[in-house]
Amino acid sequence: MLSRQAHRFCLALFTTSDRRETYRARNLRFRTFTLPTCYTVNAMPGRRRWLYCAHYVATRNKYQLHDPLATVQTQYLYQYICSMREQERILAGQQVSHTTEPLTDEYNTQWIHTNTGKLPAIGGFDLMRYSPSREENGDVGRDTDRAIAWASTNTFDGTALAPAQGTHGGIVAFCWHWNPPYGDPNVDWWKWMYDDNTTFRPASAMADTSPGGGLELLHRDIDRIAVELKRLDQAGLSIIWRPLHEANNPTIFWWGADGPAAYKQLWQLLHDRLTNHHNLHNLIWTYSANYWPSGSYSDTYPGDDYTDIIAIDSYETDVYPTNSTYAELSAVSTKPVVISEIGHMPDPATLYQPGSDYDWRYFVTWGESNGSSNYLGGTVTPSYANTVYNHARTVTREQLPDWRNGIF
């Protein structure tokens, strides 16, 4: 899709002849040139009617992942996400429910499809259940398999989707609600990730290099998660990777409890372990801050050398983040900005008002639905969801191009 800007193009030659032959270019000079947004391609007159075809190759130099060894497909995914700015569109996403509520795992996507006729372009998953302290208590993770199915042309149970539901598969995003190695024995083990339910702290853990100490426990947990990320990599998946989220509010999760310096050190440790030790280069590293406290987004930002996307998690009474929120996030870095978690679906018509500086690349509605507050079935009514998913600016799974091969 052409944007309003001029782009670089490659020139290709095709013939209408049915004969198989090789065209040998002699004394031909090819050069880089630009075409305006509106252009016409015509067949050249002649016996063989050679057709000049302009093949769009996006000018993507400004959209580069921080990892120089990132896979080509991962780079394509990043560039496609970034291209939403030029296209003035937004990718729709939905977190798959991971709670213990009496809902099927696919409740959220099924609800959306039933009420809108569409599927989200991005499926959000969680590596939470693979945390060793959860597995030790009998928890079983299944999101790796479900993500692999989502990225193909299948549903979660392997049933083939109709072509109209997305022939190129869905985009996959993963967060990690990292359950710490230990927590308060008087509190349910699955609640240990919350700051006030564990004494496990990042600063002291990273400083404890003794055998079986804190650093070794951190490595153990990361190595377990690396197993799943490698499975995804081997299956050919590129991942929007969003670990250690909402640390700008130190009262939520244990990984943010020791403040910005310790948090950034933990991020770098995780990054080094996955990227260099485990040789994982299929990850788009996403830093997501909590909506509150506003103005603190830059304090815990790990830095451009460790991050590709800047995101916001918003569950405030505001229907969705405001212009000022976007401005604060944009001030942190020049990286693309997204809405990584939100209770209420944002309205593209409002996000892209004339003259607005918004250019959110995607949103992911959270997946815990109990029919209350800002979740599906609550303030997100079937009528409202239908409006959002069928808006001209919204990109759903059905509209995804072949981005894995760089075609978009």
Q: pLDDT tens digits, residue range 341-397?
A: 988 888 888 777 666 667 889 999 987 655 555 566 667 889 999 999 999 999 999
Report pLDDT for 340: 96
Give the domain CATH number at 287: 3.20.20.80
Q: In what order do the strands lie in the sheet with 51-56?
A: 34-35, 7-14, 51-56
**The one catalytic residue among 228, 246, 328, 398:** 246
For residue 395, what are its two tokens? Answer: 């990109």
Look at the chain and report how many structural domains it folds into.
2
Residues 306 and 346 in one domain: yes
pTM of the complete model: 0.83
H or E stretch covering 203: helix 202-207
**Is 101 considered catalytic here?**
no
Residues 47 and 95 in one domain: no
Amino acid present at 150: W
Query: Which residue range forms the structural domain that includes residue 42?
Result: 1-57
Length of the chain: 408
CA 26 – CA 11 distance, rounded (Å): 16
Report pLDDT for 103: 40
Backbone angles phi, psi at 328, to 5 degrees: -65, -40
Report pLDDT for 156: 53
Per the domain annotation, does 205 fall within a domain?
Answer: yes
Residues 394 and 280 in one domain: yes
Per the domain annotation, does 278 fall within a domain?
Answer: yes
Per the domain annotation, does 63 fall within a domain?
Answer: no
CA 321 – CA 274 distance, rounded (Å): 32
Per the domain annotation, does 67 fall within a domain?
Answer: no
Instruction: Name 320's Cβ contacts closer than 8 Å, sequence gap at least 6.
Output: 314, 339, 342, 344, 346, 347, 350, 351, 363
Walk along the chain (408 residues) and give the pLDDT tens digit of each residue: 333 333 333 333 333 333 333 333 333 333 333 333 333 333 334 433 333 333 334 445 578 999 999 999 999 999 999 999 888 899 999 998 655 444 455 778 888 888 999 999 999 999 999 999 999 999 999 999 989 988 986 555 555 665 555 668 899 999 999 999 999 999 999 999 999 999 999 999 999 999 999 999 999 999 999 999 999 999 999 999 999 999 999 999 999 999 999 999 999 999 999 999 999 999 999 999 998 886 689 999 999 999 999 999 987 654 566 777 888 999 999 999 999 998 888 888 877 766 666 788 999 998 765 555 556 666 788 999 999 999 999 999 999 999 999 998
Per the domain annotation, does 89 fall within a domain?
Answer: yes
H or E stretch covering 329: helix 323-332
Per the domain annotation, does 124 fall within a domain?
Answer: yes
CB-based contact 109:94 (threshold 8 Å): yes
**The one catalytic residue among 228, 328, 341, 398:** 341
CB-based contact 364:339 (threshold 8 Å): yes
Residues 7 and 145 in one domain: no
Residues 113 and 247 in one domain: yes
List of long-range contacts for 107-112, beta carbons under 8 Å, 24+ apart: 107/369, 108/365, 108/367, 108/369, 108/376, 111/369, 111/376, 111/377, 111/385, 112/376, 112/385, 112/389
Residues 173 and 40 in one domain: no
Q: Is 67 left (phi over 0), alpha (psi -120 to 50) or beta?
A: beta
Last residue of a domain, one of 33, 57, 81: 57
Report pLDDT for 56: 38
**Is 328 considered catalytic here?**
no
| pLDDT, tens only, 125-163 | 999 999 999 999 999 999 999 899 889 865 555 556 655
Residues 356 and 322 in one domain: yes
Q: How many CA atoms lie within 13 A of 295 on its CB side?
A: 0
Residues 289 and 349 in one domain: yes
Per the domain annotation, does 76 fall within a domain?
Answer: yes
Give the count of beta carbons closer than 10 Å to the beta carbon of residue 33. 10
Residues 7 and 118 in one domain: no
Residues 10 and 158 in one domain: no
- Characterize the bridge pairing of strands 51-56 and 34-35: unpaired
Helix, strand, or coil here: 394? strand
CB-based contact 23:13 (threshold 8 Å): yes
Residues 212 and 344 in one domain: yes
Per the domain annotation, does 62 fall within a domain?
Answer: no
Report pLDDT for 159: 57
For residue 320, what are its two tokens? Answer: 């969705």
* 402 Cα distance to chain centroid: 17
Last residue of a domain, one of 13, 32, 57: 57
Residues 42 and 178 in one domain: no
- Characterize the bridge pairing of strands 362-365 and 337-342: parallel
